[in-house]
């Protein structure tokens, strides 16, 4: 009988049966672990005995004990099952310390500032051999990059409806606030920002897509009002340097403004109109959905940004 004929007559499941009986030395316990009935396991053991031409496991006062042949097979069988899980099924204990991966995120500088300080500390302790690259996000989902594996995640609040094959997880929602420099000549002493004040002042707009128009302008247009947007900035954090040096108003997510106010002398005010919250999500493609390293990465991003 050649090798092909021998393999054709052998059921790989029988190796799992052998390993379970070898570990638990008890038919009922082994059957429970393998989610088999006791008669089915006994039948599988009978097949093994015929194939190996040996009893393999025999009854004793202490349960099933291995024959010399079974003892000889114990380590090779475990090695075969372990290698099959690792190399064929891709099942292996995940150890972040051993991971050597470069994670690429398409996101904004705002998310970088909120995420990276804590995330880099986690990498230093748990995954010192892995690295992170932050890529500037276009004002849309980087679909091709995620599909082709050129990017692992996209994190932002402007992706809209996702195409088939993508997953998303909500990270946090944020409200919009307005901010001016603390010594603003007209607004520094006012407790509230009126609609007329808002429309009369000059405005900065964070505009990664290059527009000078946002949902705030759409809200004003419905009231038959408008404002003067004098600059569209391509990054969130650049407004931290521009705002304190001008008399402009910035209306942006509160997490950004509160971060800026820790460093720069700013006055934070409530906008005089209702602006819908922004929802920040992380998005990934199905190709990475079950990857252990990717799941580890996503979970740490979620834990950092949801706090």
Q: How far is the CA of 189 from the CAs of 9, 127, 185, 269, in angstroms? A: 88, 50, 9, 11
Residue 254 main-chain phi, psi, to 5 deg: -60, -35
pLDDT at 242: 94
CA angle 10, 15, 21 (to 5 degrees): 135
Q: CA dist 126 to 100, 102, 140, 217, 300, Å?
A: 12, 14, 32, 45, 11
Spatial contact of 178 and 258, defined as CB atoms under 8 Å apart: no
Per-residue pLDDT tens over the stretch 189-211: 999 999 999 999 999 999 877 78
Angle between helical axes of 13-24 and 68-83 (0-180°, round to 10): 120
pLDDT of residue 125: 96
Return the closest-CA partner of residue 218 out of 303, 275, 156. Answer: 275
Give the residue ranges of DSSP H helices in 127-238: 143-148, 195-200, 215-222
| All structural domains of the chain with their residue ranges | 3-88, 96-174+279-305, 176-276
Query: Could you say which residues of the chain have pLDDT below 50?
Result: none
Structure-block tokens of residue 70? 């079974």
SS3 content of the chain, % helix, strand, coil (to 5): 45, 20, 35
Q: Classify domain 176-276 at the CATH topology level.
A: D-Maltodextrin-Binding Protein; domain 2 (3.40.190)
- pLDDT of 207 reads 85
273, two tokens: 């109109």
Sign of the Cα torsion 238, 239, 241, 245 reads positive
Burial 264-303 (b: 16+ CB within 10 A, else e): bebbebebebeeeebebbbbbbeebeebebbebbbebbee
Q: Please tell me the distance from the alpha carbon of residue 222 to that of residue 210, in angstroms, as a whole number.
A: 23
pLDDT number for residue 82? 74
What is the CATH architecture assignment of 96-174+279-305?
Answer: 3-Layer(aba) Sandwich (3.40)
Residue 284 pairs in a beta bridge with: 167
Taking only the tens place, the pLDDT of each residue in 23-73 is: 888 898 889 888 899 999 999 999 989 888 999 999 888 788 999 999 899
Cα dihedral 287, 289, 293, 298 sign = positive
Within a 13 Å sphere around the CA of 240, how many CA atoms are in the beta-carbon half?
18
Q: What is the structure's pLDDT at 123?
A: 97
Level-2 CATH architecture, domain 3-88: Orthogonal Bundle (1.10)
pLDDT computed for residue 1 by the predictor: 52
- Helix residue ranges per DSSP H, the chain: 3-8, 13-24, 27-34, 38-52, 68-83, 109-126, 143-148, 195-200, 215-222, 239-242, 254-261, 292-305
Residue 44 · residue 56 · CB < 8 Å = no
Q: With the C-alpha atoms ordered 150, 154, 158, 163, is the resulting torsion angle positive or negative?
A: positive
**Spatial separation of the C-alpha atoms in residues 260 and 241, rounded to whole Å:** 9
- Equal CATH topology for 96-174+279-305 and 176-276: yes
pLDDT confidence of residue 167: 93
Identify the pLDDT of residue 277.
Answer: 94
């Amino acid at each position: 009988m050649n090798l092909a004929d021998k393999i054709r007559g052998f059921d790989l499941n029988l190796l799992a049966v052998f390993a379970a009986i070898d570990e638990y030395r008890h038919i009922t316990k082994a059957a429970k672990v393998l989610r088999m009935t006791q008669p089915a396991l006994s039948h599988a053991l009978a097949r093994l005995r015929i194939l190996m031409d040996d009893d393999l496991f025999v009854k004793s006062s202490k349960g099933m004990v291995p024959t010399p042949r079974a003892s000889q097979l114990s380590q090779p069988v475990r090695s075969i099952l372990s290698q099959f899980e690792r190399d064929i099924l891709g099942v292996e204990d995940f150890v972040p310390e051993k991971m050597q991966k470069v994670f690429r995120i398409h996101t904004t500088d705002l998310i970088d500032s909120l995420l990276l300080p804590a995330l880099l500390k986690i990498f230093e302790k748990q995954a010192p051999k892995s690295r992170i690259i932050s890529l500037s996000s276009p004002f849309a989902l980087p679909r091709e990059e995620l599909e082709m594996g050129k990017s692992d995640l996209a994190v932002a609040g402007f992706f809209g409806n996702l195409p088939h094959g993508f997953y998303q997880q909500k990270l946090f929602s944020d409200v919009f606030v307005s901010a001016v420099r603390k010594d603003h000549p007209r607004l520094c002493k006012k407790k509230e920002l009126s609609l007329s004040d808002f429309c009369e002042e000059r405005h900065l707009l964070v505009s990664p897509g290059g527009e000078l128009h946002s949902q705030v302008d759409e809200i004003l247009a419905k009231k038959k009002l408008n404002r003067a947007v004098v600059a569209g900035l391509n990054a969130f954090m650049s407004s931290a340097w521009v705002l304190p040096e001008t008399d402009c108003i910035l209306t942006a997510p509160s997490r950004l403004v509160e971060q800026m106010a820790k460093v720069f002398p700013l006055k934070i005010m409530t906008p005089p109109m209702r602006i819908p919250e922004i929802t920040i999500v992380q998005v990934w493609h199905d190709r990475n959905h079950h990857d252990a390293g990717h799941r580890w990465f996503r979970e740490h991003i979620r834990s950092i940004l949801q706090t």
